Amino acid sequence: MSRPCHRVVITGLGAVSSFGVGADVFTSAIRAGRSGIAPITSFDSSNFAHRMAGEVRGFDPRSWLHNIEPDDWGRSAQFAAAAARLAVSDAGLETERLPTGTGTIIGTTSGESAVIDSLVATWVDEGLKSLDPRLVRQVPANQLANAVNEELGLNGDALTISTACSASNYALGYGFDLVGAGDAEMMLCGGADSVNRWGNAGFYRLGALAAEVCRPFDLNRSGILTAEGGVFLVLESMERAEARGARLYAEVLGYGLNCDASHMVHPDPTSIAECIRTAQYNAGVRPDQIDYVCAHGTGTPTNDATEVAAIREVFGERVPPVSSIKSMIGHTMGAASGFGALICAKAIHEGFLPPTATLESVDPALGPGLDCVPGRARAAQPRIVENHGFAFGGNNAITILGRPS
Amino acid sequence: MIAEVVEPLPVISCGLISSAGHNLDEIAGTGSSVSPAPPAEPGPDGDEGDWPPISFHHARLDITGELGTKGTRTLDRVTALGLVACKRALAPIGDLEDEQRRVTGVVLGTSTGSIRSSSEYSRQTYVQAKPYLVNPSLFPNSVMNCCAGQIAIWHRLRAVNATLAAGRLSSLQAFRYARNALARGHARRLLVGGVEELCPQSAWAWHHGGCLAVDACLGEGSALFVLEAPGRSRPDRATLGAIAASEVRCPGGRARTSEELAGCIRRALARSGVRPDQVRIVVTDGHSLPALDRLERQGIRGALAASSAQVIDATAIFGECYSANAAFQLATLFAEWARRGPAADEAGLITTVGDDGSSGCLVVLPPLALREQR
């Protein structure tokens, strides 16, 4: 395998989440163990069985977007473009001076799912002949990446990776490869998704949707809560970042991808363990060097048991602290591992471990000695952290971040 | 930054299902004459329901005949097309050992997955007595990576499994992603290509978009190629050819000029070590969208000047296949080379322009054995 020629660092972070706009707002809320969950307002949920979600509330795109016309873009694209602009600004960069060839790689599960819900409402009431062309144009998932490139005046790659709930880690990994190989000096990598009707219904019918609270690793966990948002990280070569005196949040050490290839929905612990080993090997780290695992931690009985079993298989006796921020923000789908990467970068930079805020008692079936960081964030100095993302289709993607040296 | 010449990536085999044919022999020669648009016909399931007044080229898909009855009852059409193309792509390379399957992955271009499945799933939340009375076993069909996931399951392919959405550039982006994945060791072998289904939802979307040519047809199908990491293939292994460099420009929705495509072509040729006059065949995709067609042809002229290269438009053969266009373009190019044999020193070019403002191209080389004869 070819080794990268450049080390890759994260120099900017942007987020649009249920806690509001900005990476700092997001991080403060995570550290405090707050909840972003509230009753659903983005669609009429009155006849749905479960009606709580981690929605982005009160988001005014015109406050955050300078160049694209919000009415021409769907909700997920607006989240993406706003988060990307925030990340670039956080990196201390002006959009006019981004390197030529800078591009956007974004992960998503359902793209413009809320727009699809609107179009389907028209289909039901009036037929496909009455679809609104303006909304139709917003639907293809590539529009998420295009929104960012257009908002920031970029000409490089604009690519949407739609590998469901691990997609942001795919995006981060691909960006890492491109910057590492010198194909680009800088890439914007992130994820975005919107809360939608059919996700709520589908997860409920799979028995995977919690009623009110998501409790990863808990004895009484009952499933996910759907959620939405947009998140972006600025990746650039370490030489370039250091030369311009940028703040280095973290270094991307490497990543691993694999596919269970066994079931569309149920995860395979052996395959996940292999993905962990691959990620660590590619990052050049050993299990005993991992100080923290930002889990996929959806809060379903199956996922958490599978994920912990896989972790134990790799880490053996020395399992590092493992927590899930989905306890606070719910499952933001394609953006989930992007929010995970953001909080990992902040954790390394500021010195803390994110909590599993809603944990009351660890499920004894997960085995002894599991530290899930209950309640609020814990002061710590993590040097190397592992960020998990698993998805329908058995698409596994794990990124590993380290303290820049 | 001076870019090095890229190493050609061998293409071992191709599997395809389309309206124009089900293997390279069947589609060879179809580019030499553009047939008039067939009359409007019912949708692919013989369903005369809610289709707009557009012409279609639909792929004759016999799911149970091709894939059997086990595990096919709830397959969506996108997934079925992809599975058939995959089966055909893998057939020539023989049975893979389990360890080989562990390092074989999938990279698939599809802009919305099965939009039919996701919108029908959403529809159920409106029309059922309660919105949550949806069918749980159809939920996986509504995620965009369903097809790639099922391909992996059916063939136990456990390396990277990537689904890419890039509009008309989706399959081109799949080749780009695949090159990186092989170079960085995320896989040693990949099934790479694109898939698109005909359905009322996307047909009406095209109708509302208003940019299809009057004589354009919508098509469907899948083309998948087996790619192996450079240096991993046996030197004497038969190949269809190799893919060299690719370049894209994606300015979002901002106005773009033909110069962007011309620039992509020049850079890709330079990074492939190919001179413009070596390009003897160009496979384009603009025929179905007149505004893009002009841009595409100007861009090609801008890069290749007064070239007498053969130009074939794949959308005139297969119909507008959106996410799968570039995959069908590559199939068309290989089919033409297989039919007439590439000339000495010949290279090929695939160009693609997106309705979202993007442009891109891919340089293609004949099989190594022929290159070495020069």
Can you read off the two tokens belonging to residue A31? Answer: 């550290």
Beta-carbon neighbour count of residue A292 at 10 Å?
26
Q: What pLDDT score was predicted for residue B37?
A: 42
Query: DSSP string spanning B267-298?
Result: HHHHHHT--GGGEEEEEE--TTSHHHHHHHHH
Instruction: List pLDDT tens digits, range A297-336.
Output: 999 999 999 999 999 999 999 999 999 999 999 999 999 9
Length of chain A: 405
Whether the pLDDT of residue B240 is over 90: the answer is: yes
pLDDT tops 60 at residue A120: yes
Token pair, residue A347, equals 């954790």
Touching check for A205 and chain B: CB below 8 Å?
yes
> Rounded to whole angstroms, how far apart are CA atoms A20 and A338?
16
Q: Kindly list the catalytic residues of A.
A: 165, 296, 331
A104 vs B contacts (CB less than 8 Å): 250
Which residues from B are below 8 Å from A206, CB to CB? Answer: 136, 139
Q: Which of B153, B160, B177 sits opposite A262 (nearest CB)?
A: B153
Q: For residue B252, give the nearest of A120, A147, A178 by CB distance.
A: A147
* Number of CB pairs, chain A paired with chain B, less than 8 A apart: 263
Closest to B355 in 3D by CA, of B316, B311, B325: B325
- Asked if A155 and B140 come within 8 Å (Cβ–Cβ), the reply is no
Cα angle, residue B98 at apex, residues B93 and B100 outer, rounded to 5°: 55
Q: What is the pLDDT of residue B35?
A: 44
Which of A:168-197 have CB within 8 Å of B?
Answer: 170, 174, 177-178, 181-182, 196-197
Query: What residues of chain A, 29 to 58, have a C-beta less than 8 Å from chain B?
Result: 47-49
Q: What mean pLDDT is predicted for residues B157-163? A: 98
pLDDT bucket at B1, cuts 50 / 70 / 90:
very low
Q: How many residues does chain B have?
A: 374
- Whether residue A81 contacts residue A151, with contact meaning beta carbons closer than 8 Å, is answered with yes
Residue B49: pLDDT band (50, 70, 90) is low
Scanning every residue of chain A, which has its alpha carbon at the shortest distance from the alpha carbon of B254?
A150
Does B38 have pLDDT greater than 60? no
Query: From residue A328, how far is each of A177, A345, B121 by CA, in Å?
Result: 31, 18, 28
Burial of B288 (0-12, 13-18, 19+ CB in 10 A): buried
- Mean pLDDT computed over every residue of chain A: 97
Q: What is the mean pLDDT of residues A285-299?
A: 98
Best residue of A66, A120, A271, A398 to probe chain B, by most B CBs closer than 10 Å: A120
Separation CA B178–CA B133 (nearest Å): 39
Give me the mean pLDDT over the B194-205 stretch.
95
- How far apart are the C-alpha atoms of A112 and A174, rounded to whole Å? 22
Average confidence (pLDDT) over A281-295: 98
How many angstroms away from the CA of B127 is the closest CA of chain A?
Answer: 8
Closest of A149, A127, A312 to residue A217, by C-alpha: A312
| Interface mutation target, options B96, B145, B254, chain A, most CBs of A under 10 Å | B145
Using a CB-CB distance cutoff of 8 angstroms, which residues of chain A are in contact with residue B162?
A: 161, 163, 170, 257, 395
Question: Mutate which of B86, B107, B250, B257 to test chain A, going by most A C-beta atoms within 10 A?
Answer: B250
Residue numbers in B near A102 (CB within 8 A): none
Would the CB atoms of A181 and B205 count as touching at under 8 Å? no
In whole angstroms, give the CA distance from residue A217 to residue A370.
Answer: 9
CB atoms within 10 A of CB A231: 35
Select from B135, B185, B252 the Cβ nearest to the Cβ of A150.
B252
Q: Where are the beta strands (DSSP E) in B126-197?
A: 161-165, 189-196
Answer whether A120's CB lies under 8 Å from B119's CB. Answer: yes
Of the partner residues A116, A156, A393, the one whose CB lies closest to the CB of residue B146: A393
Which residues in chain A are closer than 8 Å to B106, comparing Cβ atoms? 259
> A131, B208: Cβ pair inside 8 Å?
yes
The residue among A405 and B121 whose pLDDT is bigger is: B121
Longest dimension (CA), chain A: 61
Chain B residue with CA closest to A72: the answer is B253
Higher pLDDT, A140 or B369: A140
Average pLDDT of the residues in B320-340: 96
In this model, does residue B42 exceed pLDDT 60? no
What mean pLDDT do residues B43-58 have?
Answer: 74
Q: Which CA distances in Å does A114 have to A121, A147, A284?
A: 11, 16, 41
pLDDT band at residue B32 under the 50/70/90 scheme: very low
Q: A204 at the B interface (CB within 8 A)?
A: yes
All residues at 6 or more sequence positions from B296 whose CB lies less than 8 Å from its CB, including other chains:
B258, B261, B284, B285, B286, B351, B353
Looking at residue A237, its pLDDT comes to 97
pLDDT at B116 over 70: yes
Q: Averaged over A252-268, what is the pLDDT?
A: 97
A192 pLDDT above the threshold of 70: yes
Residue B374 has pLDDT above 80, yes or no: no
Contact A259 B125 (CB under 8 A): no
B123 vs A124: CB contact, 8 Å cut-off?
Answer: yes
Mean pLDDT value of segment A50-66: 97
Q: Where are the alpha helices (DSSP H) in A153-300?
A: 167-180, 197-205, 238-243, 269-283
Chain A residues with CB under 8 Å of B356 CB are 140, 142-143, 146
Inter-residue contact A397 to A169 (CB < 8 Å): yes
Asked whether the predicted pLDDT for residue B39 surpasses 50, the reply is: no
pLDDT tens, B290-304? 989 999 999 999 999
A119 touches chain B (CB under 8 A): yes
| Other C-beta atoms lying within 10 Å of the C-beta of residue B14 | 23
pLDDT of residue B237: 76
Query: CB-CB: which of A133, A145, A159 is closest to B209?
Result: A133
Does residue B232 surpass a pLDDT of 80?
A: no
Averaged pLDDT, A104-130: 97
Looking at the predicted structure, is the pLDDT value of residue B97 above 60? Answer: yes
Euclidean distance between CA atoms A87 and A71, whole angstroms: 23
Question: Cβ distance A311 to A293 under 8 Å?
Answer: yes
Asked whether the beta carbons of B229 and B179 are under 8 A apart, the reply is: no
pLDDT of residue B360: 97
Could you read off the pLDDT of A391-403 as tens digits, one per residue? 999 999 999 999 9
A contacts of B110 (beta carbons < 8 Å): 162
Between A123 and B48, where is the model more confident? Answer: A123
Q: Do B144 and A148 touch (CB under 8 A)?
A: no
Residue of A nearest to B354 (CA): A142
Nearest chain A residue to B145, by CA: A163
| Residues contacting residue A17 through CB under 8 Å, at least 6 positions apart | A25, A26, A36, A54, A56, A229, A231, A329, A332, A339
Contact A310, A272 (CB under 8 A): yes
Residue B327, pLDDT above cutoff 60: yes
Residue B344's pLDDT is what? 81
pLDDT of residue B236: 67
Judged by CB atoms closer than 8 Å, whether chains meet at A142 and B111 is answered as yes
Chain B residue with minimum CA distance to A151: B252
Which band of pLDDT confidence, cut at 50, 70 and 90, is reported for residue A238? very high
What is the rounded average pLDDT of the residues B256-271?
Answer: 94
CA distance A227 to chain B (A): 16
8 A C-beta contact, residue B124 and residue A119: no
Please list every residue in chain A whose beta carbon sits closer than 8 Å to the beta carbon of residue B148: 163, 393, 395
In chain B, what residues touch A202 (CB-CB under 8 Å)? 121, 134, 136, 139, 142
State yes or no: ipTM above 0.95: yes
Q: How far apart are CA A98 and CA A102, in angstroms?
A: 7
Q: What pTM did the predictor assign? A: 0.97
Rounded mean pLDDT, A207-219? 97
State what percent of residues in chain B have pLDDT above 70: 90
**Dihedral angle sign, alpha carbons of residues A178, A180, A182, A185:** positive
Within 8 A of A393 by CB-CB distance, chain B residues are 140, 143, 145-146, 148-150, 152, 161
**Which residue of chain A has the CA closest to B148?**
A393
pLDDT at B256: 77
Query: Span B166-171, mean pLDDT?
Result: 97
Helix (H, G, I), strand (E, B) or coil at A387: strand
As a whole number, mean pLDDT of residues A364-386 equals 98
Q: What is the average per-residue pLDDT within B209-213?
A: 89
Cβ neighbourhood burial of B48 (10 Å; 0-12, 13-18, 19+): exposed
CB atoms within 10 A of CB A2: 12
